[in-house]
Copies of this chain bind each other. A is one copy, B any other.
Amino acid sequence: MDISTKDGAGGKKMQSFLEDMVLSIFGNGTVGDVGLGELDDGASFGSYIISTDGHTVRPLFFRGGNIGKLASCGTYNDVSVMGARPLLLTCSFIIQAGFKRDDLCRIMHSMKDVANEVGAPIVAGDTKVVEDPIGMYISTTGVGSSWEGLTHNNNIISNTRTLHSQFITDAGLQPGDKIIVSGTIGDHGISLLAEREEIPLSGGLSSDVAPVWDIVRRALEEGGVTAMKDPTRGGLSGALNEMAHKSGAGILVEERSIPVQPQTLAAADILGINHLDVANEGKVVMGVIQEHADAVLAAIRSSPYGRNAAIIGEVTEEQRVFLRTAIGARRLLDMPDGDPVPRVC
């Protein structure tokens, strides 16, 4: 079967693509604790994390950001949710001949702004110019370094529970851990699709694209974070299922606890898309040891990007992810087949 868009769309199809193709050919390439076989947000070498993502979003400029801001945040965030402090970024531009120089300037300025905010400069890059009608793609790679705040706090907690000392993987959940999301869910994917479909919206729905390192740092300073992920392709549903599956556990989520903007919900309704299945680009979902959950929540809320953070559920022993709906029914929250919004990141 030939390659289809779902092979790169963050859902079940991508999982089998990764297992049947990537891992079977590349093997579990590793030079540290976390390698390709973990299919985590990045890989480790020594006291560093490295992560790579290609960005093909359309339109290139969208409400709340552009491909440059997305390409920077996306990779800084993958490094951050491993518990590593972003250190540097590299970028590979592939640009269509005839691309407006002013547009490229705006895109690059956005990348530089994010780099300044995160405190991790762009140190290397490459530009290819092609005749193919692509507009522009940007692949970014980030390196982060093991953060002393994480090591310190997890060593303090380790008298009650063994935690990773250097990095945070997806696989650290244990039953009883609380699940926290750092803010409203679905904004990036729904906003992008609403813009493409020209759905008239009141209330200024826009992408949430932002760097999450500030949120992550505040959470790690409290200690007790057991697993962490940014719910991009595949959305919150995908991220929760991946974390549960890798941890050999289940999750029960309270639907009414999941933060969502009314305009996102309204647009999702019109579009017929579940806002839990679409990409977020400035959010974190994490497991936290129960006794630390309130403190971590308060820490996240003290970040400008984390004001709407909430505890949305907890880890169970059931090996599946369930949603308890507003009326008290329990339904399976499955991993989406693929992202319902194409070209979202």
Contacts and interface: CB of A to CB of B under 8 A. Distances in A.
B134 A27 contact: no
A3 B104 contact: yes
Contacts of A5: 97, 129-131
A139 B26 contact: no
Contacts of A123: 29-32, 35-36, 43, 45, 50
Interface string A70-105: 000000000000000001101111111111110011
Interface string A101-136: 100110011011001000011111111111111100
A292 interface: no
A22 B29 CA distance: 33
A32 B93 CA distance: 23
A137 interface: yes
Interface in A282-308: none
Interface in A8-50: 8-9, 14, 17-18, 21-22, 25-27, 29-32, 35-36, 42-43, 45, 48, 50
A337 interface: no
A254 interface: no
A52 B130 contact: no
Contacts of A8: 95, 127-129
A280 interface: no
Nearest 5 A-B pairs (CB), nearest first? A29-B121, A139-B139, A43-B123, A8-B129, A92-B139
Contacts of A55: 128
A26 B111 contact: yes
A141 B25 CA distance: 19
Contact of A25 (B29, B108, B130, B137): B108
